[in-house]
Amino acid sequence: MDKKYLKRQSSGLWLYRRKTPVLLKDKYKSSYIQHSLNTHSYHEAILKRNALNAEIEMELAHAKRGSNDKALFFHYYAKWRKEYEEREAELTKEDLYNPMEDAEPALLVDKREDAKSPAVKAAWSAMKTGKVPEQYQPTVSELAEEWADWAKDKKNAKYVASMATYIKALVSFMGRDDLPSNLSSGQAQRFIDGLLDSGKSSNTVIHYKSKLQELWRWALTREKATGDNPWLNTRVEASKKKTKPQHYRNFTDEELHKILSSTEYDKLNSKTWAYPYALHVLPILLPFLGTRLSELALAKTEQFVDVSGRMFFEVREGKTVNAQRIVPVCPAIRPLVDEVIAKAGGSEWLFPEIGNAKIGASEAVNSISSKFGKLTKGFTKVEGYKTGLHSFRGHFATALQETGCPVEIATKLAGHKELSLTYSLYSKYENKDELWYWVEKIQETGCLKVLVPRLY
């Protein structure tokens, strides 16, 4: 049950209560903002809480921008409109009109000089209709700022940051920071087409569209903008010439040296980066195990099993059913695997910082992948190929090839093709010796020679 900012009184009525933001202390004159929601119904309380909270968040957003006309307008409009609606709800058949109609705005302002402001006069007029004049409506950028304040405890930091990036690109396309209602569906489609023409992948453009569509939906449902959602009917139609799939390539020896240098623990360890140890060891473990990033980063310590003095990694879940398999732990990385397990302590997770991440384990893996991408951003571009942590699967495959490992065994070790019971996770290690024979030899291959010294 969502009870954020909600408190039930002894009478059974719901109460809105939240700590007063520092920037609104002067207005509310109290450490807490508190209002009775006048309902015993939880669901009705949720609706009223959301509406009240949206107003307060708007006040806070405009307070952050300073005492300009728009901030002054919303400072008064939000509270006057709220009181007007409350009085409206209290009217009976005998009442002829809302008592706020007879009120004197000059007596309701915080400062005498505010009564003369056009913004305050506009707020008084808008209070009666609920229609915000165009000159006081938030622009696209201002809207995004309000959304970011609302989303900071609902979305992860990467999600919020990406919205800011997309808004910056949209404002640049529009030529100015315009009102949301002034963006037509045709302009929205041209923006999408322009992103594709600039070389961005269809997946990236889909992210642009979905987040911008969400921002407009959020604004319209909270009456922060007028008109329609221009993103609803836009389509991401990439040219077939640009949809040729890219494959991951292996890193060069020079690039591997740079990766080892940039992923040193001391360089990654900071107060703002939550996964330094994981990113420090993953570039070493992945090429010797051949697993996908998620298969190892989200693994549990119990998946590393000792069988007759040899360690095997049990991949129990993966991208496909074929991914379920056993992978011998190459002797070269055995000490490092032991270290990682020991560092996990009593946690069930191989990397507790990932498994217990506040943003969610999967999002933590995405964050690590993104961080690695930034570290390797300057690497040589090869047409038709890309690089990332997934590239290390290629190193594993190449190393097996160098040892002379039969293709059918190599593909099964990597979890690519349909597994027979001979090599599956459920074979009770019947053919562990044959698997071990080939994996044991990869530490001697030229493909991994740059990485081996890091292990000793």
- Output the domain CATH number for residue 369: 1.10.443.10
**Residue 218 located in a structural domain:** yes
Same domain? For 266 and 188 the reply is no
Query: What is the reported pTM?
Result: 0.50
Domain's final residue, options 135, 164, 199: 135
Range of the domain at 216: 140-242
Domain's final residue, options 135, 151, 172: 135
Domain's final residue, options 88, 111, 135: 135
Same domain? For 300 and 412 the reply is yes
**Residue 263 located in a structural domain:** yes
Same domain? For 271 and 333 the reply is yes
Q: CB neighbours of 44 closer than 8 A, spacing ≥ 6?
A: 37
**Residue 1 located in a structural domain:** no
Same domain? For 111 and 177 the reply is no
Q: Taking 90 as the threshold, does the pLDDT of residue 391 lie above it?
A: yes
The CA distance from 156 to 169, in Å, is 21
Mean per-residue pLDDT, 228-243:
81
Give the pLDDT of residue 147: 92
Q: Taking 50 as the threshold, does the pLDDT of residue 425 lie above it?
A: no
Same domain? For 254 and 215 the reply is no
**Residue 359 located in a structural domain:** yes
Give the pLDDT of residue 134: 75
Tokens of 290: 């051949």
246 and 386 Cβ atoms separated by less than 8 Å: yes
DSSP code at position 411: H
Same domain? For 288 and 419 the reply is yes
Q: How many domains in the chain?
A: 3
Q: Taking 80 as the threshold, does the pLDDT of residue 239 lie above it?
A: no
Same domain? For 147 and 93 the reply is no
DSSP code at position 251: P
| Strands, E assignment, 335-448 | 385-386
Mean per-residue pLDDT, 427-446:
80
Same domain? For 296 and 147 the reply is no
Out of 42-56, 231-245, 375-389, which region has the weakest mean confidence (pLDDT)? 231-245
Out of 139-148, 169-178, 242-251, which region has the weakest mean confidence (pLDDT)? 242-251
Q: How far is residue 82 from each of residues 6, 55, 56, measured CA to CA in Å?
A: 18, 9, 11
Q: Taking 90 as the threshold, does the pLDDT of residue 246 lie above it?
A: no
